[in-house]
Amino acid sequence: MMSVNKIARVKAAMQSYSDFPLPGVIFRDLFPVLRQPALFRDLIDVLNENVKSKHPKVDVIIGLESRGFLFAPIMGLELDIPFVPIRKKGKLPGDLARVTYQLEYGTDVFEAQKDAVKPGDKVVIVDDLMATGGTMSAAVQLVEQMGGVVIDCICIVELDDLKGRNKLKVPFTSFIHF
């Protein structure tokens, strides 16, 4: 019950901006939550409790560029699990695994350092928001290409009407729905 109350407080603190970044889009802004340390703490607690209760053995927490980086490193630190970033093309050094994925108008590329996920690693992927599912689906594909096993994808917010979760063939968890 406490998690439900914490999530309700997080949702109440969020702000919405019409016609941003494009006309017809409503931007769901989590940044006001981060400006309230107690509320941010509650959100991290809910995320960590979810992982601990559902997945007693996790090898890697992955955060997606860029807002996944706000949550996943903290989760990894507190759960004593390595954090691995998945970034856009050209932002990571070393030997990289990459996947090209489709955007509404064109393509983009995700990359990760090849040695960051070992074959058989159980992986949880974290991002702030699930919209159409393209970036999360690409992240799953990249982890699988590296030999990892995605045991959960977690987003704080899900835009239900866009049905992004339907692009995933792995477990998906979200907490706030619009």
Cα–Cα distance measured from residue 33 to residue 43, given in angstroms and rounded to the nearest whole number:
8
Strand arrangement, sheet containing 172-177: 96-103, 106-113, 83-88, 60-64, 122-130, 149-158, 172-177
Identify the active-site residue in 67, 87, 111, 165: 67
Task: Reply yes or no on whether 78 is catalytic.
Answer: no
CA 168 from centroid of its chain's CA atoms: 13
Identify the active-site residue in 9, 65, 87, 104: 104
Task: Reply yes or no on whether 49 is catalytic.
Answer: no
Cα–Cα distance measured from residue 10 to residue 19, given in angstroms and rounded to the nearest whole number:
22
Active site members: 67, 104
